[in-house]
């Protein structure tokens, strides 16, 4: 019977009462003060109720009290110091309350206390050193609080103390070197989950009655001492999650009573000593997350009581000893992430009737998966991923009726059936508890059977991507009603999206990208109200993007890129206020960006590039302050770049290239301090490029194809307009210093010609004789001369990209030599190309370039003469590569751009050096 309400005050009238237990009821509120009259009480148990006030100080007046149990309540406030007046108290249990503040120093005044529980409260401050003044103390438990500071050292001989538990606090510092010198009867010590450091005091190994040593999750360092052999009664050793180094001492094999040995996540190295195989009482051995090398000792097969073997994430090599698979008590084998090699024994599973987990993924194992593994009938998890297993996936795996997780990813496995369907999937329909099926990265080379719909209704994860799966997606897949993650990407799937996918109402992740799916997105997909990630990129889907996708409020990523969608932008998408990533690039979407785009406040990535979008960029786009990547490239967007772009302070990538944008680049973009990649090339932008903020790192590649842009020389842009009065040699120098560095394509030559002509006009004191002739005196140009000037197209009559390269080479020669193919000096067999080639090859000292280039570009008295000469030689040589006689021998235009960039960089460095 369970009592409720408050404790009646009339109990205080029972003045002769010696024993009072209200244990395990539902009393609440505070204790009535009348209970202070019970001065003869020897036993008081108020545990497991709902008392939620402070512990009354009058309890300290119960001078005959021997046992006080207040655990399992909600007592608040501090531990009353008046409790120390209980001179006959032997047991004090305040476990699992809401006590706060410091432990009073007076607590050490108990003359008779044996067991003291303060665990699972909210106590803070340090552990009072007076606690070790209680010579009668046998057990002390202050675990699971917020205690800090150093652990005090006993000053008296605590010959009765057997158990100390200070775990799960914030204690720090090293253990006192003499801490264990006064604890001869110590049997259990728990100091795990603190911030202790230093080495283990040597005195600990004199505590020969010690059965449990728990120091896990601290910052202890040093080696594990050989003296551990002295702890002959040690039953459990927890040293994991520390910074211990060195090897496991072989002497540990002498502690024959050990049942649990956990050294997880240290920096231990070397070989695992074979002497561990002598610990025949061992039930758990965890050496994972260290740096162990060598092989797994075959002596581990002697551990006939072993239930858990965990050696994962080390550097262990060699074969897995077959004897390990003969330990019938084994429940968990976890040896993943090593360098183990060889085959699994053909008898694997025959002698493992209790095995629940076999984790051997991420090794170098090979050969077939033994079908005998199906005899391990209790198997729950089979993890063989990231190995080199080959052959068939055994159909016998369907006999593992308790199997919940089957992970065989990244191997070389195939299906046994001679039919195109993946037969093993049909066999797995017998595994009615299966929740996770991960088979990606295998050459399965088959089709999905309709029986896929008969897999366990408990199935949550199905990952079959990158597996050469062909054919269509069976509509029966809609039967997997608990599926949360479905990934079939990077296969060869064809057909349409089955409408039955809309029945997977718990689905959160769906990826079918990079297949050959056709048709439209079925509206049933909008029934997936829990969908967070949708990837359909890289298919052949067409039609419109369903407007109902805007109703999927859980959606965080929408990726529909590289398809054939040809509708206007759905306005409903801009209502997905919690979406993080949108990628609709490489489609045929039309229309303009709506002002509602500013609603996507948490959006981090937006890619609408390579579509047919028009109109202006709305200024509301500046409200996307979390946006990191924005690409609107390769569209037909017009107007100016909004000043509000400067508000997108998280931007790291901005690509507006290949549009019809006009006006200036807003100076507000200088505020985008995280911007790493900027591309506004091939628009109609004009004016001075900003020079502050991230613009100090951008080169001409970010701005090319905008004829009206100018900027500072360090940005490798043409200079903005300055005074028109220049000396002729200064103008010629600008051709090399500013125009050349700013060009990487045919724009280079066009700009150079413009500058050259301006220079020619300013510096010609007398009109050129040819220019001064009246029209009727111009000489006639014979057909042969015309043919010589256009020999590429005139001789072959074919228009090709190789012809463009050839024309580009002629244009470079004309620009830098101030010669034309039709000049009179080129008659007979001599033409412009041959003249350059023979002139440069005739003079080995490289000075021949002075004879062929324009006089005003290279003068001996120029301070940058050597830099100019080297630059011009490289340009002439590049021109000749463009003019190779055979089109197949000509350099590609992409290589032309790369070489021009190298010439530019070398020229700038040489000029700065001079």
250 CB-contact burial (10 Å; exposed 0-12 / middle 13-18 / buried 19+): middle
Give pLDDT, residue 863: 62
With the C-alpha atoms ordered 804, 806, 810, 812, is the resulting torsion angle positive or negative?
A: positive
pLDDT digits (tens, 9 = 90+) for 333-377: 999 999 999 999 999 999 999 999 999 999 999 999 999 999 999
In the numeric block, the tokens 């999927």 are attached to: 552
799-to-181, 638, 803, 818, 886 alpha-carbon distances in Å = 96, 33, 6, 27, 14
**What 3-state class would DSSP assign to 102?**
strand
What is residue 610's DSSP assignment?
Answer: S
Contact call for residues 107 and 84 (beta carbons, < 8 A)? yes
In whole angstroms, give the CA distance from residue 553 to residue 33.
57
Q: Which residues contact 723 (CB under 8 A, 6 or more apart)?
A: none
CA nearest 102: which of 74, 134, 78, 83? 78
Give pLDDT, residue 802: 53
Strands (E), 218-355: 219-222, 236-238, 243-246, 260-262, 267-271, 284-286, 291-293, 308-310, 317-318, 332-334, 339-342
Give pLDDT, residue 758: 40
- The set of long-range contacts for 251-257, using a CB threshold of 8 Å and a minimum separation of 24, is 251/226, 251/227, 251/275, 252/224, 252/228, 252/276, 252/279, 253/277, 253/278, 253/279, 254/229, 254/278, 255/228, 255/229, 255/231, 255/279, 256/232, 256/280, 256/281, 257/232, 257/233, 257/281
pTM (2 d.p.) = 0.75
In whole angstroms, give the CA distance from residue 477 to residue 380.
24
Domain borders along the chain are 544-720, 782-913
121-to-27, 72, 637, 849 alpha-carbon distances in Å = 20, 10, 64, 89
Q: Which residues contact 548 (CB under 8 A, 6 or more apart)?
A: 523, 526, 572
Residues with pLDDT less than 50, the chain: 723-790, 792-799, 843-844, 861
**Domain 544-720: which CATH number of 3.80.10.10, 3.10.300.10, 3.30.50.10, 1.20.1290.10:** 3.80.10.10
What is residue 76's DSSP assignment?
Answer: B
In whole angstroms, give the CA distance from residue 185 to residue 164.
11
HSE-up of residue 513 (Cα within 13 Å, Cβ side): 16
Measure the CA angle with vertex 410, ends 404 and 414; round to 5°. 85
Give the homologous superfamily in CATH for domain 782-913.
Answer: Transferase(Phosphotransferase) domain 1 (1.10.510.10)
**What 3-state class would DSSP assign to 346?**
coil
Neighbours of 277 (CB within 10 A): 18
Give pLDDT, residue 862: 57
Measure the CA angle with vertex 678, ends 672 and 682; round to 5°. 135
174 CB-contact burial (10 Å; exposed 0-12 / middle 13-18 / buried 19+): middle
């Amino acid at each position: 019977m369970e009592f409720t309400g408050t404790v009646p005050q009339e109990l205080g009238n029972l003045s002769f009462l010696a024993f009072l237990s209200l244990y395990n009821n539902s009393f609440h509120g505070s204790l009535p003060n009348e209970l202070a009259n019970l001065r003869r009480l020897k036993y008081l148990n108020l545990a497991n109720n709902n008392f939620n006030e402070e512990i009354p100080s009058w309890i300290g007046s119960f001078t005959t009290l021997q046992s006080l149990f207040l655990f399992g309540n909600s007592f608040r406030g501090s531990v009353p110091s008046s409790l120390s007046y209980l001179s006959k108290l032997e047991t004090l249990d305040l476990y699992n309350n809401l006590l706060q503040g410091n432990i009073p120093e007076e607590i050490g005044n108990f003359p008779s206390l044996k067991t003291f529980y303060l665990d699972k409260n909210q106590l803070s401050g340090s552990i009072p050193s007076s606690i070790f003044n209680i010579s009668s103390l046998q057990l002390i438990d202050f675990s699971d609080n917020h205690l800090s500071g150093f652990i005090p050292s006993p000053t008296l001989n605590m010959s009765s103390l057997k158990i100390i538990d200070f775990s799960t606090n914030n204690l720090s510092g090293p253990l006192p070197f003499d801490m264990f010198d006064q604890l001869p009867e110590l049997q259990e010590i728990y100091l795990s989950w603190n911030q202790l450091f230093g080495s283990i005091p040597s005195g600990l190994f004199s505590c020969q009655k010690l059965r449990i040593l728990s120091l896990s999750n601290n910052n202890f360092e040093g080696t594990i001492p050989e003296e551990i052999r002295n702890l002959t009664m040690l039953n459990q050793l927890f040293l994991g999650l520390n910074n211990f180094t060195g090897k496991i001492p072989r002497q540990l094999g002498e502690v024959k009573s050990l049942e649990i040995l956990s050294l997880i996540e240290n920096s231990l190295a070397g070989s695992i000593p074979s002497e561990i195989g002598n610990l025949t009482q061992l039930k758990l051995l965890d050496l994972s997350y260290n740096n162990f090398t060598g092989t797994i000792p075959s002596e581990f097969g002697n551990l006939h009581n072993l239930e858990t073997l965990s050696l994962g994430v080390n550097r262990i090599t060699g074969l897995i000893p077959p004897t390990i698979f003969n330990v019938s008590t084994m429940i968990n084998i976890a040896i993943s992430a090593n360098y183990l090699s060889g085959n699994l024994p053909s008898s694997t599973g025959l002698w493992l009737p209790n095995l629940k987990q076999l984790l051997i993924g991420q090794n170098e194992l090979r050969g077939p998966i033994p079908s005998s593994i199906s005899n391990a009938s209790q198997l729950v998890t089979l993890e063989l991923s990231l190995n080199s297993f080959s052959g068939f996936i055994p159909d016998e795996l369907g006999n593992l009726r308790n199997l919940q997780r089957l992970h065989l990813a990244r191997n070389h496995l195939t299906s046994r059936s001679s039919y195109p369907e993946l037969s093993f999937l049909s066999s797995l329909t017998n595994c009615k508890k299966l929740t996770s099926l991960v088979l990606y990265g295998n050459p399965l080379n088959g089709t999905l059977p309709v029986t896929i719909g008969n897999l366990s209704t408990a199935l949550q994860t199905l990952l079959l991507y990158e597996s050469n799966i062909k054919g269509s997606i069976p509509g029966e897949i809609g039967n997997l009603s608990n599926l949360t993650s479905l990934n079939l990407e990077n296969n060869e799937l064809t057909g349409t999206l089955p409408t039955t996918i809309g029945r997977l109402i718990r689905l959160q992740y769906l990826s079918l990208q990079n297949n050959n799916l056709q048709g439209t997105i079925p509206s049933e997909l909008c029934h997936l109200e829990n969908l967070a990630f949708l990837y359909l990129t890289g298919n052949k889907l067409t039609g419109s993007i369903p407007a109902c996708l805007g109703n999927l409020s859980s959606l965080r990523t929408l990726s529909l890129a590289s398809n054939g969608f040809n509708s206007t932008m759905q306005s409903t998408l801009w209502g997905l206020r919690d979406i993080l990533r949108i990628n609709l690039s490489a489609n045929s979407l039309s229309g303009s960006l709506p002002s509602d785009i500013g609603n996507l406040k948490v959006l981090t990535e937006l890619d609408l590039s390579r579509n047919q979008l028009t109109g202006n960029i709305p200024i509301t786009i500046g409200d996307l302050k979390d946006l990191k990547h924005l690409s609107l490239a390769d569209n037909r967007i017009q107007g100016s770049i909004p000043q509000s772009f400067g508000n997108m302070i998280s931007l790291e990538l901005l690509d507006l290239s290949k549009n019809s944008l006009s006006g200036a680049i807003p100076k507000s973009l200088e505020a985008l301090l995280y911007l790493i990649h900027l591309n506004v090339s091939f628009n109609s932008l004009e004016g001075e490029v900003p020079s502050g903020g991230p613009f100090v790192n951008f080169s001409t590649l970010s701005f090319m194809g905008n004829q009206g842009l100018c900027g500072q020389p360090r940005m490798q842009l043409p200079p903005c307009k300055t005074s028109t009065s220049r000396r002729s040699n200064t103008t010629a120098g600008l051709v090399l210093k500013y125009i050349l560095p700013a060009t990487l394509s045919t724009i280079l030559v066009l700009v150079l010609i413009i500058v050259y002509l301006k220079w020619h006009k300013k510096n010609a004191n007398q009109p050129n004789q040819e220019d001064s002739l009246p029209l009727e005196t111009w000489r006639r140009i014979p057909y042969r001369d015309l043919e010589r000037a256009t020999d590429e197209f005139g001789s072959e009559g074919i228009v090709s990209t190789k012809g463009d390269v050839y024309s580009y080479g002629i244009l470079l020669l004309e620009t830098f030599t101030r010669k034309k193919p039709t000049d009179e000096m080129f008659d007979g067999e001599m033409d412009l190309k041959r003249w350059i080639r023979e002139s440069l090859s005739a003079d080995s000292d490289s000075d021949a370039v002075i004879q062929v280039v324009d006089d005003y570009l290279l003068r001996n008295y120029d301070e940058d003469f050597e830099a100019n000469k080297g630059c011009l030689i490289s340009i002439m040589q590049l021109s000749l590569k463009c003019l190779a006689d055979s089109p197949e021998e000509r350099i590609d235009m992409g290589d032309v751009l790369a070489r021009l960039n190298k010439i530019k960089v070398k020229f700038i460095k040489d000029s700065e050096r001079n």
